Amino acid sequence: MPALEAKSALVTGGGSGIGRATCELFAREGARLIVADIDKEAAEQTADLVRAEGGEARVVVADVNRVEQVTAMVAAAIETYGRLDCAVNNVGISASQVGAGGQRVGDISEEAWERLICVNLTSVWRCMKYELLAMERSGGGAIVNIASIAGLVGLPGAHGYVASKHGVVGLTKAAAMDHAAAGIRVNAVCPGYIDTPMRANSWVSPERPIITRPAMKRTGKTDEVAGGVLWLCSDQASFVTGTTLAIDGGYTS
């Protein structure tokens, strides 16, 4: 039996990278998808891939930094499928995307710091707030937040990013404790250096020594991360909550 048979799942940032891989895998495992992304064209491409394999998907254009769009996104899941069983909060930006890659603490601008915290941490809280309310009404569910190895260790030249991802890990643990009695599990996945568009735009390149640190000495693949997300959302992880799963080729070992 498929791991997510007949379950509804919401994936933010579903238009590319880890989000797209997660949508495709979830659909193959029986889930009915809400593909949410600020980029409609990218989200539609993901939905088309899902449908091409016989899956069910609805696209919702949403900026997770705007509360009215987040509430509409969650409402769309309820309207379409009647309930929300799984949610994957995957939206994030790198330090390089705000012009702060490779900077020390004293170098980053106020604007860059606030943008990293807003997108990488506050948006996860905002999405969880409304996902949790929906799951409470449905009688339970599973949430997976996409953090990073930067949520587990320090990385040079990325303190704003590191702070935001440590925040996601802490938020995950606290929410897991708050909502376990309601039958809701909340976990985080901490990917290492994964071959995604965001990593391609990062100030860290494959030639830099930091990439060779993992025991496996390679970047990961998006479907390798999606596999961990699937497990945490499935009933196979029914006794797992408040944990962080590092998928990093041994980087944090």
Count CB atoms within 10 A of the CB of residue 77: 27
Among residues 81, 130, 161, 251, the one annotated as catalytic is 161
Q: Is 161 a catalytic residue?
A: yes
- SS3 sequence of the chain: CCCCCCCEEEEECCCCHHHHHHHHHHHHCCCEEEEEECCHHHHHHHHHHHHHCCCEEEEEECCCCCHHHHHHHHHHHHHHHCCCCEEEECCCCCCHHHCCCCECCCCCCHHHHHHHHHHHHHHHHHHHHHHHHHHHHHCCEEEEEECCHHHCCCCCCEHHHHHHHHHHHHHHHHHHHHHHHHCEEEEEEEECCECCHHHHCCCCCCCCHHHHCCCCCCCECHHHHHHHHHHHHCHHHCCCCCCEEEECCCCCC
137 CA to centre of own chain: 23
2 φ, ψ (degrees, to nearest 5): -55, 145
The amino acid present at 28, given as its one-letter code, is R
The amino acid present at 141, given as its one-letter code, is G
Length of the chain: 253
Which residues are catalytically annotated?
Answer: 161
